[in-house]
Amino acid sequence: MPTAPADSEYGTTLVPTVTPFSDGSVDAEAVADLSEFVLSNGADGLIPCGTTGEFASLSLDEYETVVSASVDAADGAPVLPGAGHTSVAGTLERIDIAADCGADAVLVVLPYFHGENGAGGNERFVRAVLAETELPLILYNIPSCVGQTIDADLIEAVADHPDLAGMKDTSGDLTHLLEIVRRTGEDFHLFQGWDSQLVPAISMGATGGINAVTNYFPGMMAETIDAAANDLDRARDLQLDHIAPLFNASLEFGFAPTTKTILVERGVIDDDAVRPPLVELDDDQKAAVRDVLDATRGVAAE
């Protein structure tokens, strides 16, 4: 029998929320509505301004608006904004804003333009942020966007730092995630960000998930995480028959556009607008997503 997911002050089911727009601007009211929807239907906490939240398309003022609206709507639930940037100074600037807004921790990526040109460069970056941060850090491994991986040696080197809380792994490499599980202790919170590998990750010791699908089916994702520790037959069915097809649609059409399309379909937000270089789904793509969504209706708890 698998062990239960590790205890975490941040919860196990966290949502990398989209950033709703209206008439070209951030819609703070829609940010609050989405936050309240996911938290009242099974999610434990919020991750605004991540990849699905189009963080790289937001100004600093907009970043503050999204984080502040999320914290207010969370009403005490954990809020862990993304604080990704290409420099130590830019990362710390976002951490300061998140701290001022009342966030609980932040997600930090490696620089996504200049990669390390020699051994130790990434560790130097992480330690420089850790030396000045006002909030606990969760490292965010997403090599498809950043162009480099947060490897197990780096995690092992910095894992005992008091301000490093854990990592989100969106590599899609389950072997890599399990190596991080093996090399870190119970206090290191490891979240699976590759939705179609959620169940195997939880069953092998990951803390929880930070998954785009949770934006529109928070109850189903919370049930899946619980089932991965207590009822593998149920967890397998949810993973293979429902989460995987939804995740695959997002891989094909883009996470923010697909997620916003489904949220509009479900009546959670009113506008599926995304910012360049992203584009909204066309009618054929929306029909394809709707077919996948229809197969999950009635199965997913709200």
Active site residues: 140, 168
Tally the C-alpha atoms within 13 A of residue 155's C-alpha that lie toward its C-beta.
Answer: 27
Strand 164-169 vs strand 106-108: parallel, antiparallel, or unpaired?
unpaired
Check residue 231 and report its DSSP letter. Answer: -
Residues 79-115 as b or e (16 or more Cβ within 10 Å = b): bbbbbbbeebeebbebbebbbebebbbbbbbbbbeee
CA nearest neighbour of 255 among 197, 286, 196, 212: 212
The answer to whether the CB of 259 falls within 8 A of the CB of 250 is yes
- Please report where in the chains the tokens 């506008």 appear, as a residue: 271
How far is residue 174 CA from its own chain's centroid?
Answer: 17
Q: How far apart, in Å, are the Cα atoms of 158 and each of 119, 130, 248?
A: 15, 9, 33
CA nearest neighbour of 197 among 230, 233, 215, 173: 173
Q: Is 52 annotated as belonging to a binding site?
A: yes
Residue 234, Cβ density class (10 Å: 0-12 exposed, 13-18 middle, ≥19 buried) = middle
Annotated binding site for pyruvate: 52, 210
